[in-house]
C-alpha cells in the first residue's frame, strides 16, 4: 500500500504529527484512541465522526456568514446557523426557517414568513429582525457573495421579513439557501470566533490550523441529529491519507492519485460534482484598454474554438489526469436543472481537422497551422501549485498538438491570472448550486468599459437578454427554460454551434475514504471546492450496528 521507503518515511512523520494533534484538546473520543476504545466498548454505539478537510477549507474569518461562511468557493449549508431555504438532492428549493414565500408582481419584493418556534443557542428567540439584520449585514460586509441586487431587508413583524431588491431576481431562493441567520443581539466583530446560531450543531472548540469540533444542538427545532459530535481536522491530502492508514479518522478526503490505495477497513466513496475544469477562449481580436490587452488573434476565430471543442478527447483526459475519477463536462452547469443538453458534443478529431482546413488554417511544413500570417499558437495558463490543472493543461497541449495547434503551458499566480486571461486561455475551476454561475461567466459587465464578460472577452446581446429575462420571471421553473435558451435557442448561444467562448472538459469527482461500518447519507451533487459539502447532511449519517 505504501509504495516506497521514501513515501513510507513521509507518512510516518505525518503520523507523529497526528498523535500530537489527537491530544490538542478534543473532547470525547480522541482520534488517537479510536481503535482501542472500539475494542473495549464493542457494545456501545458510536454517535461521533472525525472527518478531514483540505487546509484551505478552514474559514479564515471564522464562522460568520457576513464574511463567507456558507458561501464562496466552498458553498454549503452552514451547520451552526439556520437558513431560510435549503437545496434538495435534485437542486430544487425546500424550506428551512421559511414557511411561506411570495414575490410581488414586479419581482422586486420577496415576502417570507418564518417559523415562530426557533431559538438561538443562548435561549433567545429567532425573529424576522434577526433575518433582516443578517441580510443587511451581508450586503454591507460580504466580499464573497454578491448582494448588489438587495436594496434592504425589512422586518414587517416578528415572523415576516421583506427583501426589497434593486431589480427582479427570480433565483433569490438559492441565495437564501446559503445565508445563515445570526442573532442581532449577540453579534459583534468577534462573532465568527464564537458563533451563536440555531442550526443543527454548536461549535464547541476551534483550534486554529488544526481542528474544529461541533456538538449537536439539543434545542434544534428539526429532526434530532443521529451524529452528536463532528470533529473536522484540516489536513493536506498526504496527511489525510496517512490518518486513514493509521485508522485515525472516519472520513478522509483524498485525491485521484490515492484512489486505488484503499486503507484496510475503508472503502472509496466517489461523489459526483459540478466541480468543473475548463478554459476560456478570448473571442475578440486584440484591443488595448487602460493598459490591458483584451482578445486573442488566434482564438477570436469561432471556427478555431469549434475545432478545439470537438478536438479534445475528454475520456482520454479524464483517464490520464484523474485516473478515471470524473465525468465529461460540456458546460458550467452540467446536471443542474437549468442545463441545456445541446451543449454536449462528440469527440471527432477528423471533423476538427476539417473545420480548421476549411477555415483557412493550413499546416506549414513544420506541422503548425497558420492563416493570414497568424500562427495557430496559444498559451494555456494554470494556477501555480495546482497539479491537476497543470496536468489538464499539459494533456490539452498534447492533444491539440496533434491538430497542428501549438499550446504552451505556464503556471501563474492569481495576482496576474485574471488580467492575463483577458487575452490568454486559462484553466479555471467553477461550479455552483445556482444559475448565477452562468450569468457571472457569460453576461457582459461594465467594469472593463468594453461591454464584455468579466472573466474572458465575450459578448452576445441575445444571450444577455435571456439571462436578464430569467432573473425577472415569477417562478424558478420558468427561469430554468430561459437559462437553457441562454445556452442555445436553436440559433445562437454559447454551445458548439454558437459562440463557444469557453471549453469545458471534466467534472472532478470528490473522493473520500470512508470507514466500512459508517453509513454516509446520500450526497447531492457537490459544487466547486472539495470542502464542507461532505458534511451538509452529517446529521443523517449513522454507524452500522
Q: Which of 476, 414, 321 is nearest to 73 (CA)?
A: 414
Query: Do 386 and 522 share a domain, yes or no?
Result: no
Residues 513, 268: contact at Cβ < 8 Å?
Answer: yes
Q: What is the Cα–Cα distance from 110 to 39, expressed in whole angstroms? A: 55
pLDDT at residue number 32: 47
Q: Hey, what's the cell of 510?
A: 470528490
Q: What is the Cα–Cα distance from 363 to 401, expressed in whole angstroms? A: 12
Three-class SS of residue 282?
coil
Residue 96: how many other CB atoms lie within 10 Å: 20
Is there a domain that residue 25 lies in? no
Q: What is the CA radius of gyration of the chain?
A: 25
- Dihedral (Cα; 94, 96, 101, 106), 10-degree rounding: -80
Three-class SS of residue 277?
strand
Query: Do 521 and 457 share a domain, yes or no?
Result: no
pLDDT at residue number 60: 85
Q: What burial class does residue 516 get, using C-beta atoms within 10 Å of its C-beta: 0-12 exposed, 13-18 middle, 19+ buried?
A: exposed
Distance between terminal CA atoms of the chain? Answer: 29
Note the maximum CA span of the chain: 78
Looking up residue 483, the CATH number of its domain turns out to be: 3.10.105.10
pLDDT at residue number 238: 95
Query: Do 257 and 384 share a domain, yes or no?
Result: no
pLDDT at residue number 75: 56
Residues 148, 446: contact at Cβ < 8 Å?
Answer: no
Query: Residue 458: beta bridge partners?
Result: none
Query: Do 416 and 452 share a domain, yes or no?
Result: yes
pLDDT at residue number 160: 98
Query: Do 368 and 463 share a domain, yes or no?
Result: yes
Query: Do 266 and 339 share a domain, yes or no?
Result: no
Q: Which of 187, 163, 184 is nearest to 175 (CA)?
A: 163
Is there a domain that residue 104 lies in? no
Q: What is the Cα–Cα distance from 501 to 303, expressed in whole angstroms? A: 11
Three-class SS of residue 387?
helix
| Phi, psi angle pair for 236, to nearest 5° | -75, 165
Query: Do 486 and 457 share a domain, yes or no?
Result: yes
Angle among Cα 324, 328, 330 to the nearest 5 degrees reads 165
Is there a domain that residue 112 lies in? no
Query: Do 437 and 539 share a domain, yes or no?
Result: no
Is there a domain that residue 63 lies in? no
Query: Do 305 and 362 share a domain, yes or no?
Result: yes
Q: Hey, what's the cell of 484?
A: 437553457
Q: What is the Cα–Cα distance from 169 to 73, expressed in whole angstroms? A: 21
Query: Do 310 and 219 share a domain, yes or no?
Result: no
Looking up residue 227, the CATH number of its domain turns out to be: 3.40.190.10
Place of cell 431555504: 85
Q: Hey, what's the cell of 94?
A: 425546500
How does pLDDT run along the chain (545 residues), one tens digit per residue? 333 433 444 444 444 445 445 444 443 344 444 555 445 545 567 999 999 999 989 998 899 998 878 765 445 678 999 999 998 888 889 999 999 999 999 999 999 999 999 999 999 999 999 999 999 999 998 767 788 899 999 999 999 999 999 999 999 998 999 899 999 999 999 999 999 999 999 999 999 999 999 999 999 999 999 999 999 999 999 999 999 999 999 999 999 999 999 999 999 999 999 999 999 999 999 999 999 999 999 999 999 999 999 999 999 999 999 999 999 999 999 999 999 999 999 999 999 999 999 999 999 999 999 999 999 999 999 999 899 999 999 999 999 999 999 999 999 999 999 999 999 999 999 998 889 999 999 999 987 678 999 999 999 999 999 999 999 998 888 899 999 999 999 999 999 999 999 999 999 999 999 999 999 999 999 998 878 999 999 999 999 98
Residues 35, 247: contact at Cβ < 8 Å?
Answer: yes
Residue 395: how many other CB atoms lie within 10 Å: 20
Residue 292: how many other CB atoms lie within 10 Å: 13
Q: What is the Cα–Cα distance from 192 to 215, expressed in whole angstroms? A: 17
What does each C-alpha distance from 285 to 78, 253, 300, 457 come to in angstroms?
44, 43, 6, 10
Is there a domain that residue 432 lies in? yes
What does each C-alpha distance from 394 to 304, 380, 382, 397, 407 come to in angstroms?
19, 9, 10, 5, 8
For the chain, the domain total comes to 2
Place of cell 471564522: 62
Output DSSP code: residue 79. Answer: S
Q: pTM of the prediction?
A: 0.88
Is there a domain that residue 159 lies in? no
Q: Hey, what's the cell of 41?
A: 466498548
Give the range of the structural domain holding residue 528, as residue numbers without chain letter. Answer: 1-18+47-58+208-273+510-545
Place of cell 424558478: 476
Is there a domain that residue 121 lies in? no
Residues 448, 294: contact at Cβ < 8 Å?
Answer: yes
Query: Do 285 and 429 share a domain, yes or no?
Result: yes
pLDDT at residue number 495: 98
Angle among Cα 282, 288, 290 to the nearest 5 degrees reads 115
Query: Do 492 and 527 share a domain, yes or no?
Result: no
pLDDT at residue number 9: 42
Strands 518-519 and 542-543, by their bridges, are: antiparallel
Is there a domain that residue 454 lies in? yes
Amino acid at each position: 500500500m505504501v509504495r516506497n521507503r521514501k513515501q513510507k518515511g513521509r507518512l510516518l512523520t505525518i503520523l507523529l504529527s497526528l498523535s500530537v494533534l489527537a491530544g490538542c484538546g478534543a473532547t470525547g473520543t480522541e482520534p488517537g484512541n479510536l481503535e482501542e476504545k472500539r475494542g473495549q466498548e464493542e457494545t456501545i454505539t458510536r454517535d461521533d465522526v472525525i472527518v478531514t478537510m483540505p487546509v484551505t477549507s478552514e474559514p479564515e474569518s471564522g464562522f460568520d456568514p457576513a464574511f463567507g461562511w456558507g458561501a464562496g468557493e466552498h458553498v454549503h449549508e452552514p451547520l451552526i446557523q439556520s437558513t431560510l431555504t435549503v437545496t434538495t438532492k435534485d437542486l430544487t428549493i425546500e424550506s428551512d426557517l421559511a414557511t411561506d414565500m411570495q414575490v410581488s408582481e414586479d419581482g422586486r419584493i420577496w415576502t417570507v414568513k418564518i417559523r415562530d418556534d426557533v431559538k438561538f443557542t443562548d435561549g433567545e428567540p429567532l425573529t424576522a429582525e434577526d433575518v433582516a439584520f443578517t441580510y443587511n449585514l451581508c450586503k454591507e460586509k460580504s466580499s464573497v457573495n454578491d448582494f448588489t441586487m438587495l436594496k434592504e431587508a425589512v422586518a414587517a413583524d416578528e415572523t415576516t421579513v421583506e427583501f426589497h431588491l434593486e431589480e427582479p431576481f427570480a433565483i433569490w431562493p438559492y441565495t437564501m439557501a446559503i445565508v445563515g441567520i445570526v442573532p442581532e443581539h449577540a453579534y459583534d466583530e468577534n462573532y465568527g470566533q464564537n458563533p451563536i446560531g440555531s442550526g443543527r450543531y454548536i461549535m464547541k472548540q476551534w483550534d486554529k490550523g488544526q481542528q474544529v469540533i461541533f456538538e449537536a444542538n439539543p434545542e434544534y427545532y428539526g429532526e434530532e441529529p443521529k451524529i452528536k459530535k463532528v470533529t473536522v481536522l484540516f489536513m493536506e491530502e498526504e496527511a489525510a491519507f496517512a490518518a486513514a492508514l493509521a485508522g485515525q479518522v472516519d472520513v478522509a478526503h483524498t485525491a485521484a492519485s490515492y484512489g486505488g490505495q484503499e486503507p484496510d477497513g475503508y472503502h472509496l466513496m466517489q461523489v459526483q460534482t459540478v466541480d468543473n475544469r475548463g478554459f476560456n477562449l478570448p473571442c475578440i481580436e486584440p484591443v488595448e484598454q487602460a493598459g490591458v490587452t483584451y482578445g486573442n488573434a488566434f482564438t477570436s476565430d469561432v471556427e478555431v474554438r469549434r475545432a478545439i471543442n470537438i478536438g479534445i478527447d475528454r475520456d482520454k483526459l479524464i483517464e490520464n489526469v484523474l485516473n478515471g475519477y470524473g465525468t465529461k463536462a460540456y458546460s458550467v452547469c452540467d446536471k443542474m436543472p437549468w442545463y441545456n443538453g445541446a451543449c454536449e458534443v462528440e469527440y471527432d478529431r477528423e471533423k476538427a481537422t476539417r473545420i480548421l482546413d476549411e477555415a483557412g488554417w493550413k499546416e506549414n511544413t513544420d506541422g503548425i497551422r497558420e492563416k493570414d500570417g497568424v500562427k495557430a499558437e496559444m498559451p494555456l495558463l494554470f494556477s501555480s501549485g495546482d497539479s491537476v490543472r497543470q496536468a489538464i493543461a499539459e494533456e490539452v497541449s498534447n492533444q491539440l498538438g496533434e491538430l497542428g495547434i501549438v499550446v504552451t503551458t505556464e503556471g501563474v499566480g492569481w495576482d496576474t491570472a485574471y488580467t492575463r486571461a483577458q487575452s490568454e486561455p486559462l484553466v479555471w475551476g467553477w461550479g455552483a448550486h445556482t444559475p448565477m454561475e452562468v450569468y457571472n461567466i457569460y453576461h457582459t459587465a461594465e467594469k472593463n468599459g468594453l461591454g464584455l464578460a468579466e472573466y474572458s472577452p465575450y459578448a452576445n446581446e441575445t444571450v444577455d437578454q435571456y439571462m436578464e429575462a430569467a432573473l425577472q420571471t415569477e417562478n424558478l421553473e420558468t427561469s430554468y427554460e430561459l437559462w437553457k435558451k441562454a445556452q442555445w435557442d436553436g440559433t445562437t448561444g454559447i454551445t458548439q454551434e454558437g459562440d463557444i467562448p469557453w471549453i469545458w472538459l471534466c467534472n472532478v469527482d470528490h473522493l473520500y475514504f470512508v470507514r466500512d461500518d459508517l453509513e454516509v447519507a446520500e450526497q447531492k451533487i457537490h459544487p466547486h471546492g472539495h470542502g464542507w459539502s461532505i458534511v451538509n447532511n452529517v446529521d443523517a449519517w449513522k454507524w452500522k450496528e
